[in-house]
Structure 1
């Protein structure tokens, strides 16, 4: 039995480690960012229909219209359309006051952004005026002035669909908005830019993306699940197209303020992911094998994120069970691999080095994206040495209780030092970054809920409490 447990957990842990290493290696290609100013010198040729999907968004719809009107692109080459979808507030009248095209939709039994977009696409196809591309936004977004220049440039390079950089317009509102912002900043750099550098397909992010009108007409939208962006990405890849990436075309998105709001939104994402993976994973895998397409394989792996999240969580639990049991449970853990290959001393050094790099990797990306100061990056670097310092103090491999007490004391020391030297704002940033770890852990129960409820299509609406203009975030 002991041998079976060891062998089974060996296969399981190595498999999870291999998936983790794939994403780690992929992310390394995002460290390089080419300075590309081609959009500034590219003549405006593409015409755009800008679609804003809105459901009871009277608080924010005016600000996105203002930011769209201020885009630095010939005004005669783009039009703004607001879809007032099943609204019972003043969204439509406010949008009308700005002189844009407002289309009111009343179909209560088919609520949701995917349905609203499909309805609006059909209307645009039938219009006398034709557009080369259609751009999609959420009502709480704000758009950078260079957005259409960047999209025009990328689409002239041959991309049929292009995703812009999704930033946050309220990163400092709470630890939840800060956590959201960190996850988006890192995803933009480590996965979106990395895929662009490797020539893979990027992922549509739900807002801030443009689609060639003809490719949309040809393939059909048909994406009405809870994650219509992922569904359409899979359709594109299956039909041999790649989603392009415009790192300099920025869309500022409003993040939920509370853990409850965040939980509901991320649960919806995981429900959609699970639904899409059940319908597209095998198709993408077949295409990857048949066409020898690494792009299709990468997209297939992306669709099964909910299951990968649970596997990583289970791997962590098994590791804690093994490490914190006096005589062990014959469970294989990854640091055993390092010890067996490199010896216990050198293997321990490699594992601790890996732990330090893993911790400071995200602050490094924030530094590269100009979201973190050099002083705070150094602070996080010094804090990451806790794995070495605590091991030295306790000797050998400290127990879970020793590590817990040691880390509490270590964090307390840093909090006092940062408050005395840096002040209130750096302290808040430091504490919130540590809470980002809790935010990350909540993905596990959220994902489990999402998988269980994958067939439920309840939509949760995030209520907005104030207005933010494009001048406030740029």
Structure 2
């Protein structure tokens, strides 16, 4: 009986390990998939044709607003200053269920205001659908409709870029969503870093690969006839993703205009950020439940990589949780030594399989590149000065410092046993090497950061230190996606709208 129980226990254990490995391999494949896409975002072709393209398309510019008296005037002003023939665009403001002076201020600044009061159908998606119906019936016929949020500011060349993309055959085009307040707090800085990297690595990366970009909720335009034919019908909390899925299912793809910039105001506090991102995840989970299977079926049936990519994009909430679970499995492995596949384990096996200096240098280069990946993107996007990039490059040498300290301790016999005994290193008997543990890495990282902060503080007490600390806090912002995603998935059927209150005005001249 004991032998049977032991055999069954071993069977269950092996079955669980097998399942974990299948899960881990799936996560690694998805991770590598997104990594490959991101690498294509490093290439940016300078396209001068847009500057010389003759303005032809006539645009209706729609601004959705709910109690936005603080910022509505600035978005209307920036739209009036666009470098595009004034007779080829009109500005419309949708004052949706407003109880303040949004409509009055928008009119004073020159916007065509349409007031909507439907209390049981609140939200941007409903407001847009309501306004689209009115635009379609106007005597003036518009070739395309562009969408903006009330807190946006728009670059002067926006419509020139959109006109160019529409003339090239795209039916829907997304512009570059930038931040108009990146230096307000560590939260706005974290938001900005997320958008800058997403724009460059994934939006531009997809565009370079011929895939569909993703509508970002604001700063995009749609061909009017295509919108009429498909219908809007996107009224969930992430109407942009919903409409993207509808477009892809109907054989269209979203174009990307990297130089058509819209400046968006980011939340100042963690609480505001939490509520907004929770709403995004609720909408993502809702769209996933309604579109993922349909997209996958279409992808398989038509062998469409564009549709497959869109289907995978709707998985974002679940992929976030998969990544978190994979990280936990890696952590458990570091403590227990269970024999499961992990991404960091694969890299460690590659770089630590040999004790030669070449493998050590390769690991150092890999670690430095991993840390500098995002700062390089920020540098390419001119969001980071060369001075600050130098600061981050200097900090990235922690990989060299760590390796040298560890090599010294490892090569001295009396310290090797100490490292393993105190869980600062893990010994792989079969492969004949030891590697630093999580405890060692965390300990050295904390000490190094503290030393680096002191040094920067002594050299430059203001800007450089602030940006450095905020960048370090970006990892905390990233980690908050995990509980936010859980909340979003659990509450995917709730449709309450979360309004972010704006407390100041910023003009287009202040951000360009």
TM-score when scaled to structure 1? 0.96
Q: Which among 201, 207, 227 is matched to residue 216 of structure 1?
A: 227
Shift of 1:397: 2.9
Shift of 1:350: 5.3
Which residue number in structure 2 is paired with residue 330 of structure 1?
339
1:80 partnered with 2:91: yes
1:52 partnered with 2:90: no
Query: Secondary structure of 1:436's match?
Result: helix
Which residue number in structure 1 is paired with residue 370 of structure 2?
358
Unaligned segments of structure 2, at least 5 residues? 1-9, 411-433
Which residue number in structure 1 is paired with residue 185 of structure 2?
174
1:408 partnered with 2:417: no
Shift of 1:271: 0.5
Q: Give me the whole-angstrom Cα distance separating, in 2, the residues matched to 1:208 and 1:195.
A: 18
Shift of 1:357: 2.0
Contact 1:391 1:398 in 2 (8 A): no
Contact 1:339 1:345 in 2 (8 A): no
Trace 1:58-97 onto structure 2 (pairs within 5 A).
58-97=69-108
Which residue number in structure 2 is paired with residue 443 of structure 1?
481
Contact 2:21 2:341 in 1 (8 A): yes
Which residue number in structure 2 is paired with residue 430 of structure 1?
468
Contact 1:391 1:397 in 2 (8 A): no
Trace 1:24-39 onto structure 2 (pairs within 5 A).
24-39=35-50
Q: Give me the whole-angstrom Cα distance separating, in 1, the residues matched to 2:367 and 2:25.
A: 17
For these two proteins, the number of residue pairs brought into alignment is 472
Q: Give me the whole-angstrom Cα distance separating, in 1, the residues matched to 2:195 and 2:31.
A: 19
Which residue number in structure 1 is paired with residue 172 of structure 2?
161
Q: Which among 247, 252, 256 is matched to residue 241 of structure 1?
A: 252
Range moving further from structure 2, 129-138 or 393-402: 393-402
Range moving further from structure 2, 175-184 or 397-406: 397-406
Contact 1:335 1:348 in 2 (8 A): no
Q: Give me the whole-angstrom Cα distance separating, in 2, the residues matched to 1:96 and 1:340.
A: 65
Q: Which among 143, 151, 161 is matched to residue 150 of structure 1?
A: 161
Which residue number in structure 2 is paired with residue 367 of structure 1?
379
Shift of 1:318: 0.9
Call closer, same or farther: CA 1:361–1:342 in 2, change over 3 Å. closer
1:344 partnered with 2:353: yes
Shift of 1:329: 3.1
**Any idea what the Cα deviations from partners look like across 1:403-425, whole Å, max 9, x if unmatched?**
22221110011112212223310
Query: Secondary structure of 2:308's match?
Result: helix
Contact 1:338 1:348 in 2 (8 A): no
Q: Give me the whole-angstrom Cα distance separating, in 1, the residues matched to 2:344 and 2:108.
A: 63
1:19 partnered with 2:30: yes
Q: Give me the whole-angstrom Cα distance separating, in 1, the residues matched to 2:269 and 2:157.
A: 32
Contact 2:351 2:363 in 1 (8 A): no
Unaligned segments of structure 1, at least 5 residues? none
Call closer, same or farther: CA 1:298–1:349 in 2, change over 3 Å. farther
Q: Give me the whole-angstrom Cα distance separating, in 2, the residues matched to 1:333 and 1:194.
A: 26
Q: Give me the whole-angstrom Cα distance separating, in 1, the residues matched to 2:24 and 2:393.
A: 28
Q: Give me the whole-angstrom Cα distance separating, in 1, the residues matched to 2:391 and 2:349.
A: 34
Contact 2:364 2:403 in 1 (8 A): no
1:137 partnered with 2:148: yes
Q: Give me the whole-angstrom Cα distance separating, in 2, the residues matched to 1:267 and 1:349.
A: 42
Shift of 1:226: 0.4
Call closer, same or farther: CA 1:436–1:369 in 2, change over 3 Å. same
Q: Give me the whole-angstrom Cα distance separating, in 2, the residues matched to 1:244 and 1:219.
A: 17
Q: Give me the whole-angstrom Cα distance separating, in 1, the residues matched to 2:348 and 2:315.
A: 31
TM-score when scaled to structure 2? 0.89
Shift of 1:351: 5.6
Range moving further from structure 2, 389-398 or 342-351: 342-351
User: Superposition RMSD on alpha carbons, in Å?
Assistant: 1.6
Shift of 1:377: 1.5
